[in-house]
Amino acid sequence: MLFNSFEFILFFPVVFILYWLLFSKNRVQQNLLLLLASFFFYGWTDWRFLFLILFSIGFNFFIGNSIHNTQSEKIKQRWLWLAVAINFGILGYFKYFNFFLDSINTTAVLFGGQALLHSAKILLPVGISFYTFQSISYTVEVYRGNMPAEKNFGRFALFVSFFPQLVAGPINRPQVLLPQVNNLKPLEADNLIIGARRILWGLFKKVVVADRLAFFVNLVYNNPESYHGLSILCATIFFAFQIYCDFSGYSDIAIGVAKMMGIDLMRNFNKPYFSSSIREFWSKWHISLSTWFRDYLYIPLGGNRVSKVKWYRNIFIVFLISGLWHGANWTYIIWGGLHGVYQVVESIGKARLKPIKNEGLRRVSNFFKIIANFVLVGIAWVFFRANTVNDAFYMIKSMFILKPGKLFLGEPPTIIGYALLAVFLLLAIEIGQEYFTGIKVVNNSRPAIRYAGYFFLIICILLIGVLNGGQFIYFQF
């Protein structure tokens, strides 16, 4: 079920009314309602997916309690490795099995052999990467002794399947979300206002910006050889904003929906395109995933507490795996590898550069760093969005070759007009929020300005928004 669909417009008010009006004084009933609503929400796409998530919940619940009830460190480690093997085994089968078969076939052909392995018909369960990572974090935290195992199966099931964050995150930590599941808050007007405001902003980013930009991005990236360099350059810039608004818009709606029910989910984005370095970018982009890799892969590998060569190796491994997490395609692996190279080169360069003392020069330098950072991120986005590696290299090669001719090949000019307007509105609002504290649209301290901001966003959604229930990009991961 999509947040921007007619079905969700009917679904959420019913859940919300039942949650607060009928069961607001009984935590067990609230949890049961949310659990049933979450399974309904998830099963709406394909009811067969419910069997897999129920197995995942039951297995990780059992493993967590087995670790908690065991005194032997060796046996705890065995339980942990079993959990890692089963969780990643399931994820690997559904998400990467055909990718590895195709890679083997391609390698065989390159060396003069024949492609003998046939791809299997495997349907990728929605959100499997997200709830698998959330389950693994729970098992690891129990193993580390940072939290006790959850004894109530229903509460653990709700932790894994809580519908706002189930299919595309944020990937919440068990120490943060489980206590809230165990102690739900009473109805508070502030939570309703903050949550509704976050939903409104998320919908604006999704239907006004992301879905508008998608028209032109899809035209170019699905048929790149039909467009010249300027078109490809525009499509790449538009995709940078499309994927940001699509994914952060989903996160905002998820956070807002949860907030209206008294539950706080972690922040997932913090205006990443205003970052002046790749490292800063990843501290602001998909925060729940980047911190997951930091805590459960980068630090266990040794982090930066090792020699420089091993440190750079750790950075590169994390980003390669991050790329693979995003999809079973070499385009994603190259995307992750590029960010790994960026990080390593940036770390080497930072150690050799002297800080600028003059305030004015520092601001000018920071501005150009933001632009350069956006260019580097944009080049990497080409591989993320391109259908094939060959398409990605072709687009990068032709992106900066300006040829005479029309920007479009007969498509309505309103497509790029709406796209430019959407990007302008987004940047105007976010620049105001980031650099001018007094200029805020949806959370201004003055009621007149605040409500005018609400009205403005609603009008934009109704007049400019693409209200056809377009799917979110990260549903495929």
- C-alpha 356/C-alpha 194 separation (Å) is 40
- C-alpha 272/C-alpha 258 separation (Å) is 23
- C-alpha 260/C-alpha 12 separation (Å) is 11
Element (H, E) at 379: helix 359-385
Is-contact 387 223, C-beta < 8 A?
Answer: no
- C-alpha 190/C-alpha 177 separation (Å) is 20
- C-alpha 14/C-alpha 209 separation (Å) is 28
Which amino acid, residue 464? I
Is-contact 160 35, C-beta < 8 A?
Answer: no
In the chain, how long is the greatest CA-to-CA distance? 73
Q: Is position 339 annotated as part of the catalytic site?
A: no
Catalytic residue of the set 68, 228, 286, 326: 326
Which DSSP string corresponds to 209-253? IIHHHHHHHHHHHTSGGGS-HHHHHHHHHHHHHHHHHHHHHHHHH
**Catalytic residues, which ones?**
326
